[in-house]
Amino acid sequence: MRTYHQSTRRDLNCLKSDMVIKGRSGLGKSTFVNTLFKATVARRKSGEEEPLPSTTEVKTVSSSLSEGGVRLNLTITDTPGFGDHINNENCWEPIVSYIEAQYGRYLQEEQKVDRLLHIPDTRIHCCVYFIPPTGHSLSSLDVEVLQRLDKIVNVVPVVAKADTLTLEERAAFKERIRADLSDHAIKVYPLQEYEDLDDAPENMKIRERLPFAVVGSTTWHEIHGKKLLGRRSNWGLVEVENKSHNDFAYMRDMLIRTHMQDLIGSTAERHYENFRRARLSTKTTSKVNIVNGQDTDHMEDLNESKI
């Protein structure tokens, strides 16, 4: 299997990636997106910052990230939590339909007789899934949502508000989540079965770190003349971009630097391909079943009942 992030790093200038951020309300998704923008925009000369709206449903926020002109579109979507007095049944439907609608759009363009050379591509390359920092295990709601998402999109799990857990709790929680994911056969990115030998050591390190335990903040603090994003408490400052404080920087690097090309490539080669095959084979089946206006499925039933 071809992998992308090593061979085409030089092409990053023309990359556009679409991601969704998923999780219950109040977990820090909007803050995370703002943090990502601030942390990246800050390194550019024109440091204009736009506050993002708070989210209650699927909403797209779009911004141009990083020096190289990489464009990252982020869509935030909230999963209503238990006890929200909202029926949680089928709560994955909006996000699943949203992701599939993007594949559907692409497929429609691709099948046109006069198709465009560059088909407008809004396919979702990654779903960043926020897990509440309970310290226990994955909730049944999270399991149900994740089991549906991993079939259609690259899923990157994240423990929200990691600063609310001690280092020991964080390590134990991560281990528990990894065991839960494995017990429920939930496949998260990067997948071992599709990787190149060259990428294996780097991907192994990422897998050992999953789920990323992240801290978000949009507040700047001045420390020794340096402006840092962080969360201040009575006992000190948690620095967002400090790799010994939390995994934000590891995750940011993976999403928009080292693995962006691979996320895009694997979406096209695997997830979109699965969608395309399923969609086209359903169409073929329904065409075969209606021959000369007669329902052949029904005819088969009749024939079988005669036998």
Question: CB of residue 275 vs Mg ion: minimum separation in angstroms?
Answer: 28
Counted residue by residue, the chain has a size of 307
Q: How far is the CB of 51 from ligand GDP (least distance, A)?
A: 12
Looking at residues 154 to 173 of the shown chain, list those that interact with ligand GDP (rule: CB under 6 A): 161, 163-164
The secondary structure of 156-186 as a DSSP string is: EEEES-GGGS-HHHHHHHHHHHHHHHHHTT-
| Dist CA 126 CA 267 (whole Å) | 8
Contact with ligand GDP (CB under 6 A): which of 28, 132, 190, 211?
Answer: 28
Residues in region 77-96 near ligand GDP by CB under 6 A: 78
28 binds, among Mg ion, ligand GDP, none (CB under 5 to 8 A by kind): ligand GDP
Q: Rounded distance, CA 124 to CA 264, Å?
A: 8
Alpha helix (H) ranges present in the chain? 29-41, 93-110, 140-149, 167-183, 200-209, 248-253, 260-266, 273-289, 296-306
Residues near ligand GDP (CB under 6 A), total: 16
DSSP state of 215: -
Cβ partners under 8 Å of residue 182, min gap 6:
none
Q: Name the minimum Å distance from CB 79 to ligand GDP.
A: 10
Q: Which of residues 186-215 bind ligand GDP (CB under 6 A)?
A: 215
| Secondary structure class of 81 (helix, strand, coil) | coil
x-or-dash string of contact with Mg ion, 48-77, rule CB under 5 A: ------xx----------------------
Q: Could you tell me the smallest distance in angstroms from the CB atom of residue 157 to ligand GDP?
A: 15
State which of positions 210-239 bind ligand GDP (CB under 6 A): 215-216, 231
Phi, psi of 155 (to 5 degrees): -110, 130
Interface with ligand GDP in residues 38-67 (CB under 6 A): 54-55
The residue from 15, 19, 20, 27 that contacts ligand GDP (CB under 6 A) is 27
Q: Does 7 bind Mg ion (CB under 5 A)?
A: no
Locus of tokens 């096209």: 268
**Which of Mg ion, ligand GDP, none does 166 bind, CB closer than 5 to 8 A by kind?**
none
In the bound state with ligand GDP, the residue whose beta carbon lies nearer, of 70 and 127, is 127
Rounded CA-CA distance 275/184 in Å is 22
Containing 92, the helix (H) or strand (E) segment is none
Q: Is 79 in the site for Mg ion (CB under 5 A)?
A: no
Residues in touch with ligand GDP (CB under 6 A):
25-31, 54-55, 78, 161, 163-164, 215-216, 231
